[in-house]
Amino acid sequence: MEKIFKISLVVFTTLLLANCNRSTTGKSRLTGLSFNDPKNGNYIRNSSFEGQETPLGMVDIEGGSFTMGQVQDDVMFDWNTTPKKIHVRSFFMDEAEVTNSEYFLYVQYMKDVFSPSEEKYKHIYNSTLPDTLVWRKSLGNTDILTENYFRHPAYADYPVVGVTWLQANEYCKWRTNAVNLKKLIDKGHIKNIFESDSTRNFFDTERFLNDSDRLFDGDTTIYKRGVRTRVVRRRGEPRPGQDDFQGRKITQADGVLQQKFRLPTEAEWEFAAKAIVENREYNTVRGRKKYAWNGKYTRAQKKRFRGDQLANFKQGKGQYSGLPGWSSDGSDIPIRIKSYPPNAFGLYDMSGNVAEWVADVYRPIIDNEANDFNYFRGNLFTKKMINQEGKVVIVGNDVAVEYDTLPNGSVIPKQLPGTIKYVPITKDDASFRTNFSRAENANINDGDLNSSRFYEDDEDRFASRPSMYNSPKKPARFRDSLSGRDVLINDDKKRRTLISDQTRVYKGGSWADREYWLDPAQRRYLPEYMATNFIGFRCVTDKFGPMTYKKRTARNPSR
């Protein structure tokens, strides 16, 4: 028996090593060349992908078809939510909104890396801070929330508010870099740079993949280990030291790095909120859902929790939480995340608590001819800027940091220092293409005057770019030579609408909204540079490979 056990152990170990070797250094099925082998060119194998891990704090959403914009009630009769059948790809979504504590981590990190005491960084830290003044009311005693809601530990697990669409978008970018930095440290690919000088902690995923030699101020000793390959040493060559970089550098083809976090599209958010998976019967959907949960009431029907509110919303005039001790939804402002049951996908607060930013540019009507596969309005196609030496251009090193003045006077960086400079594609890049023709696609085929070849603004005939819907222009910032202060000048008095290419959609009801807005199909809009005390956000990331890795069961198991 002992001999049989030893033989079995040897066979098992051999098979295990063979599998490990095949996953990294297997051979091409069509050419016979071995991968990750210096004797055969050290080519990369990228066909051993076995599925993505669900990112921290996220839920796996299996995509499919649904009717977008199908509301139960449309009391305004404005057809702002025209029903349209579309398909959504599978993706991962945050199970709850980004909280004050999570966003505060981002703020602290940015302050640490881009110190506001340095002149070249003075606007970066301020551009990340939420607008806590959104809590102020001219006829309300709410200043206590202005001072405490974001930073006090009592509200740590409450959804962050006072954040603009632009700020939410920047958070998603930072989260991508933070997660990838932690992955590389945990897997031993780079040193723990948090133990070193904090000013060198800035990490950018795109730069790591494209220009790693100039990352970390050019200090390549931070890199410890790459992807393991077969080592071929000539006779007399010394073995590599413990601190020497070994293997080859990680690429996108290795599948090690986390894909980009971003804001959900309107279609993705509505699909995830409706969670029609619980209404599916074979290949059809029974009924229409009014809320993120199943049923037509806002109170629980099960005996144990009967009468409890299923969401945090405004129940009536002056009724933010009902009578004390009865009919209370638990909070008169946003409440701690996960305070209510999740929907069928496992997502919390998709109806109520805070409304949420989505990625789309707003238009009053979604065109019937719009793309029915992963619909999204707001694409800006860009490319990396390349210098004369053929290297990518780095903001802050190769080009100066550019700042933008928003209509509300806030100053934000167009791109963070240390990131790769991106520029819009040109007409030459899109020539002879059938799938797209220009870089900016926010207003493509939307039917407004600015998209028409007959458009001509008599009042602004010689403008290089006429304003859509007569939306207000951005103010110009000038430095007063006498006082030395920055002054905003805006001569444009026309303000007929807020709809423009900078107007974004937000979805879901909030603590300050009536029941009508809890319907996931309802949609509203706000300029991307404005913030409120009832809009937050959550992130998504794309899922690669099959729509689901679940095994398909037999349709007719009895046969």
Domain architecture of the chain: domains with CATH:
1-48 (no CATH), 57-187+256-378+508-554 (3.90.1580.10)
Rounded Cα gap, residues 528 and 165, in angstroms? 5
Residue 268 main-chain phi, psi, to 5 deg: -65, -45
User: Checking DSSP bridges between strand 284-285 and strand 355-361, what pairing results, if any?
Assistant: unpaired
Q: Which residues fall within 8 angstroms of residue 89, CB to CB, at 6 or more apart?
A: 63, 374, 542, 543, 547
Rounded Cα gap, residues 298 and 308, in angstroms? 8
| pLDDT confidence of residue 556 | 55
The answer to whether 150 and 132 are in contact (CB under 8 A) is yes
**Bridge partners (DSSP) listed for residue 541:** 92, 261
Closest CA to 166 of 376, 352, 416: 416
| pLDDT confidence of residue 23 | 42
User: Checking DSSP bridges between strand 411-413 and strand 422-424, what pairing results, if any?
Assistant: unpaired
The answer to whether 460 and 422 are in contact (CB under 8 A) is no
Query: What are the distances in angstroms from CA 157 to CA 110, 154, 257, 332, 334?
Result: 21, 8, 28, 16, 10
Closest CA to 224 of 256, 277, 260, 186: 186
What SS3 state is found at 132? helix
Rounded Cα gap, residues 125 and 108, in angstroms? 9
pTM: 0.86
What are the structure tokens assigned to 335, written together?
A: 């409440």
Secondary structure (DSSP) of 30-99: TT-PBTT-GGGTTPPP------PPPPTTEEEE--EEEEET--S--TT----S--EEEEE--EEEESSPPB
Rounded Cα gap, residues 472 and 383, in angstroms? 29
What are the structure tokens assigned to 299, written together?
A: 């109170």
The answer to whether 277 and 345 are in contact (CB under 8 A) is yes
Rounded Cα gap, residues 501 and 237, in angstroms? 61
| pLDDT confidence of residue 130 | 97
| pLDDT confidence of residue 244 | 53
How confident is the model over 418-435, as pLDDT tens digits?
Answer: 999 999 999 999 888 888
| pLDDT confidence of residue 558 | 56
What are the structure tokens assigned to 277, written together?
A: 């998976």
Rounded Cα gap, residues 140 and 143, in angstroms? 8
Identify the H or E element spanning 104. Answer: helix 100-113
> Measured in whole angstroms, how far is the alpha carbon of residue 384 from the centre of its chain?
20
Residue 149 main-chain phi, psi, to 5 deg: -60, -40
The answer to whether 87 and 372 are in contact (CB under 8 A) is yes
What SS3 state is found at 207? helix
| pLDDT confidence of residue 463 | 46
> Measured in whole angstroms, how far is the alpha carbon of residue 335 from the centre of its chain?
23
Closest CA to 262 of 385, 92, 420: 92
With a cut of 70, which residues of the chain have pLDDT below it?
A: 1-25, 46-50, 76, 78-79, 197-201, 227-247, 327, 367-369, 447-474, 490-497, 549-559
> Measured in whole angstroms, how far is the alpha carbon of residue 97 from the centre of its chain?
12
Angle at 95 between CA 90 and CA 99, to 5 degrees: 135
Q: Which residues fall within 8 angstroms of residue 236, CB to CB, at 6 or more apart?
A: none
Rounded Cα gap, residues 529 and 235, in angstroms? 64
Rounded Cα gap, residues 298 and 310, in angstroms? 6
Across the chain, which distance is largest between two alpha carbons, in Å? 96
Q: Which long-range contacts (CB under 8 A, 24 or more apart) does 280-285 make?
A: 285/66
What SS3 state is found at 162? coil
Rounded Cα gap, residues 533 and 518, in angstroms? 17
What single-letter amino acid sits at 333? I
For residues 311, 312, 313, 319, the Cα torsion angle rounded to the nearest 10 degrees is 120
